Structure 1
């Protein structure tokens, strides 16, 4: 079986607090480490009441101190929001704290709207255009190349860099730079197959990677029965619909029959976005994950999945990896 990893958004539950969300994320990371997952990644989002991973490097330090062996990383840092020197310092610091365990996934999308862009004091259109150059600058800093201003910490840090994407642009850049590529198929599956073909066909070996390496994301929610898993999945469905309709909020408890209550157009959009999913009993999850691996020929799978009850999410991770061993 190929390695499994975990993508977490540090969800803030309805009725909960940011502090509780961070505590629950650390507990989830410990469960993932004990179960045998390879990586635990946190994604950068801003201005969202229900997601507490905005200060991604700080949240990763919290997770790093709660664990001892699992790789920790950003899935990802939205580089247009930041100066590369600052990211090199942040992830160089993480590497100094947790040697040999740090990943840095880089995304080109800002992960923010114009109001957040103004708050960040960034011209996101211009910064997005500079994304390839900023990635190369980060590579140079971590490789220890001489630059006018050295990142301290950061210079020479063996941080494992990834390109994240949901389009052909990220696939092409990852191939050109000889970096591993992670595709966000858990919410944007439209160009999955084409992007993986582009990445593999155009891949140029680098000092850090000899051949293409793909990690594909899935929504995976496992429970004792198919019905229970489908019920648990309605919390994430509610968050997806709320975001797409301009009304994001905290993660809500599951609602029986939620999908059936949606207007047809919204339900169709949700079903399309959730193509890369495995939701059900361990046997169901196993069949759906294996079918996805056969389709994508992925080298790793990273599992996402918003579940309102933190214990149910911990159980989901345990059931998933047990089903696939």
Structure 2
């Protein structure tokens, strides 16, 4: 019998970010098809949004073209909002991004979210292939202004078919990046795994400095977090193991690998540095039985007064992953 909390938890918006993680023994093409199938599943569970990501030259992530994948997801679903978490604006010309989202909004009116980030390539070779470098991240705010201007008609070039359309923009930010969202009057997406106190400070700054815009009259905070639910605490913890090991592997070898099965990871020897990084990567997430997850997530929602949670859980066992999302939906939706 599953461990359930006592009283029903107040309703909260839950959404999903899926990065099309590749699994050992499976192809990148399979990962992309898994993403589309997963979107249909979480739509049935009642989740509010389904976002896809942008990564380049990463063996363990198939999601490299988010607007293309978002189109496939939107075509395969009917109700759930679809978007990007996010398009990395330093990698693209704002006009092209506006045109792409204009096409998406035209084909799937009222369902598209334009999540935008300021990250550049993970390694120098990728940044060189993209034609950018780390310094380009500093141009995020003016690029964002230009991009939004193609929707409002404030640019010299008319960004058809974006011109006059209302795609919902979001800013993916940490620390000082929250000020960019506030200055532009846009909803903020912030990771809950980067340290709770620092996250609270960034959210407080965002709300204090928020300037109402044509896009949003009030601040809106989306917490991005890994949330793993299972019948036992141990089973929930094991869901975190594949992603944690991939993170530790990337920090020691400079390459983010496909997800391995937990048993394979836990059975292999680790150097002291790998063990430390692995254990660090397991921290800061919400996991456990339904009652344990409810307690931890409610605490976070109370401290942040967040409007929405963007769940980012990925793991090797997709059946167990779907069950985790199903149990979370049972708790909050």
TM-score, L = length of structure 2: 0.90
Matched, 1:131 2:140: yes
Matched, 1:321 2:326: no
Alignment check: 8 A CA contact 1:81 1:120 kept:
yes
Matched, 1:142 2:136: no
Alignment check: 8 A CA contact 1:80 1:124 kept:
no
Structure 2 stretches lacking a partner, 5+ long: 1-10
CA separation in 2, counterparts of 1:229 and 1:257?
Answer: 16
Matched, 1:209 2:197: no
Alignment check: 8 A CA contact 1:276 1:292 kept:
no
Alignment check: 8 A CA contact 1:78 1:111 kept:
no
CA, structure 1 residues 267+200, in 2 after alignment: closer, same or farther (shift >3 Å)? farther
CA separation in 1, counterparts of 2:31 and 2:282?
Answer: 24
Structure 1 stretches lacking a partner, 5+ long: none
What is the SS of the residue equivalent to 1:255?
Answer: helix
Structural RMSD (CA)? 2.2
Alignment partner for residue 118 of structure 1, among 118, 128, 145? 128
Q: Which residue of 2 aligns with 1:258?
A: 266
CA separation in 1, counterparts of 2:134 and 2:255?
Answer: 23
Q: Any idea what the Cα deviations from partners look like across 1:230-277, whole Å, max 9, x if unmatched?
A: 122211111111122224211111138839975666555555555542
CA separation in 2, counterparts of 1:155 and 1:92?
Answer: 8
Q: Which residue of 2 aligns with 1:2?
A: 12
Kindly tell me the number of residue pairs found equivalent between the two proteins. Answer: 322
Alignment partner for residue 290 of structure 2, among 275, 282, 305? 282
Matched, 1:92 2:99: no
Instruction: Please state how far the C-alpha of 1:148 moved relative to its aligned partner.
Output: 2.9
Alignment partner for residue 164 of structure 2, among 146, 156, 164? 156
CA separation in 2, counterparts of 1:273 and 1:187?
Answer: 11
CA separation in 2, counterparts of 1:183 and 1:269?
Answer: 22
CA, structure 1 residues 19+167, in 2 after alignment: closer, same or farther (shift >3 Å)? same
CA separation in 2, counterparts of 1:257 and 1:50?
Answer: 15
What is the SS of the residue equivalent to 1:216?
Answer: strand
TM-score, L = length of structure 1: 0.92
CA separation in 2, counterparts of 1:291 and 1:265?
Answer: 32
CA, structure 1 residues 271+3, in 2 after alignment: closer, same or farther (shift >3 Å)? farther
CA separation in 1, counterparts of 2:195 and 2:277?
Answer: 11
Alignment partner for residue 244 of structure 2, among 219, 237, 241? 237
Q: Which residue of 1 aligns with 2:234?
A: 227
Alignment check: 8 A CA contact 2:124 2:133 kept:
no
Matched, 1:80 2:95: no
Alignment check: 8 A CA contact 1:186 1:304 kept:
no
CA, structure 1 residues 214+266, in 2 after alignment: closer, same or farther (shift >3 Å)? farther
CA separation in 2, counterparts of 1:262 and 1:197?
Answer: 40
Alignment partner for residue 316 of structure 2, among 283, 308, 312? 308
Instruction: Please state how far the C-alpha of 1:29 moved relative to its aligned partner.
Output: 0.8
Give the 4+ runs in structure 1 shifted more than 6 A.
none
CA, structure 1 residues 299+22, in 2 after alignment: closer, same or farther (shift >3 Å)? same
Instruction: Please state how far the C-alpha of 1:91 moved relative to its aligned partner.
Output: 1.1
CA, structure 1 residues 194+274, in 2 after alignment: closer, same or farther (shift >3 Å)? farther
